[in-house]
């Protein structure tokens, strides 16, 4: 039995069907990234973009079973809603409250969240190998922040400080996961002092995203020299925050690595094989240029 058949997708055809559901979906870089990976691994199959509106979500999930898809990714706006149509939810995804990856084992669907673990793998590989004992400051407390903060708690940092425009969301998140790590929530009014203590500063807000590429989530003067600064945004590849931080001698880390690694984990769940991460990254970078 080859690896494709072991993965349990469509043993009759031996071809692995994968895809991503979202609304909109046309700009997704996942198909180009995963098709490059399938080719590099020598796995016959295809990864397709599927434009699914909210009213079509339940039917789309049923179709994953009936059409014999091995797995799918789930993107905006379905990451939360999709959970009620699955057979099992992985513990991490349940805590985060969102699913971005579904694995189909002979009609039994399990939901995972690879965004947070993908982010942390990328941060450690590219910028900060040891997070243990670090003071981490996270800007933002939305869906993306939840995924990465949950994954960061597993790294045993000294402290995670969450700063959010709507302070109540940061404080509630800190209370919810208080048992996992030393987490505290703060308002923007407290941000200057909090950021001053950071070893690692992570922007999860949309401030600085295309087209508002000159915007900074915190003023330049607040950023300590020489720390690690990470931004989840990958369009542009180097945000104003990263550019400014680089000028201050910081180690910078952009959002492309998170995108590639959330996909790498998903591919590993579907195939049982190590993902060709560099080839996946190159495929995404190339698609930005054309």
What positions carry a catalytic annotation?
Answer: 79
Q: Which stretch binds ligand ATR (CB under 6 A): 51-59, 100-108, 123-131, 198-206?
A: 198-206
Nearest residue to 109 (alpha-carbon basis) of 219, 171, 39, 21: 21
Residues 138 to 177: which contact ligand ATR by CB under 6 A? Answer: 140-145, 164-166, 169
Total residues interacting with ligand ATR, rule: CB under 6 A: 14
Least Å from the CB of residue 139 to ligand ATR: 7
How many Cβ atoms from other residues are within 10 Å of residue 154's Cβ? 14
Q: CB 29: neighbour CB atoms within 10 A?
A: 20
Q: Which residues contact 219 (CB under 8 A, 6 or more apart)?
A: none
CA distances from 82 to 100, 260, 261 (A): 9, 22, 22
Is residue 138 classed as helix, strand or coil in its secondary structure? strand
* Site string (213-252) toward ligand ATR, x via CB under 6 A: ----------------------------------------
Residue 75 Cβ, how far from ligand ATR at the closest point, in Å? 10
What is residue 111's three-state secondary structure? strand
Q: How far apart are CA 133 and CA 136, in angstroms?
A: 9
Q: Which is nearer to ligand ATR, 43 or 171 (CB)?
A: 171
77 binds ligand ATR (CB under 6 A): no
Q: Could you tell me the smallest distance in angstroms from the CB atom of residue 176 to ligand ATR? A: 15
**Spatial separation of the C-alpha atoms in residues 252 and 218, rounded to whole Å:** 15
Contact pattern for ligand ATR over residues 201 through 220, marking x by CB under 6 A: ---xxxx-------------
Q: Which residue is nearest to ligand ATR (CB)?
A: 142
Q: How far apart are CA 89 and CA 83, in angstroms?
A: 7
Nearer to ligand ATR, 44 or 54 (CB): 54
Which parts of this chain interact with ligand ATR (CB under 6 A)?
Answer: 140-145, 164-166, 169, 204-207
């Amino acid at each position: 039995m080859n690896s494709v058949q072991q993965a349990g997708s469509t043993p009759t055809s031996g071809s692995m069907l994968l895809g991503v559901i979202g609304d909109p979906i046309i700009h997704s870089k996942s198909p180009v990234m995963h098709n490059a990976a399938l080719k590099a691994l020598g796995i016959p199959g295809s990864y397709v973009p599927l434009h699914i509106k909210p009213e079509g979500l339940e039917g789309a999930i049923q179709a994953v079973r009936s059409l014999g898809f091995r797995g799918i990714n789930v993107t905006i706006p379905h990451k939360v809603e999709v959970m009620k149509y699955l057979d099992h939810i992985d513990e991490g995804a349940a805590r985060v409250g969102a699913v971005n990856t579904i694995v189909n084992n002979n009609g039994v669907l399990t939901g995972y969240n690879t965004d947070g673990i993908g982010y942390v793998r990328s941060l450690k590989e590219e910028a900060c190998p040891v997070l243990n004992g670090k003071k981490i400051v996270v800007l933002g407390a939305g869906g993306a922040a939840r995924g990465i903060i949950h994954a960061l708690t597993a790294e045993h940092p000294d402290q995670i400080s969450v700063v959010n425009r709507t302070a109540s969301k940061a404080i509630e998140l800190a209370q919810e996961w208080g048992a996992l790590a030393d987490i505290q929530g703060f308002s923007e009014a407290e941000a200057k002092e909090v950021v001053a203590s950071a070893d690692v500063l992570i922007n999860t807000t949309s401030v600085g995203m295309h087209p508002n590429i000159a915007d900074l989530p915190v003023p330049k003067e607040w950023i300590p020299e020489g720390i690690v600064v990470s931004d989840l945004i990958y369009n542009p590849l180097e945000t104003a925050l990263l550019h400014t931080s680089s000028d201050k001698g910081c180690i910078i880390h952009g959002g492309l690595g998170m995108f590639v690694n959330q996909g790498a984990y998903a591919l590993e769940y579907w195939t049982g094989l190590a993902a060709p991460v560099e080839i996946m990254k190159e495929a995404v970078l190339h698609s930005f240029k054309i």
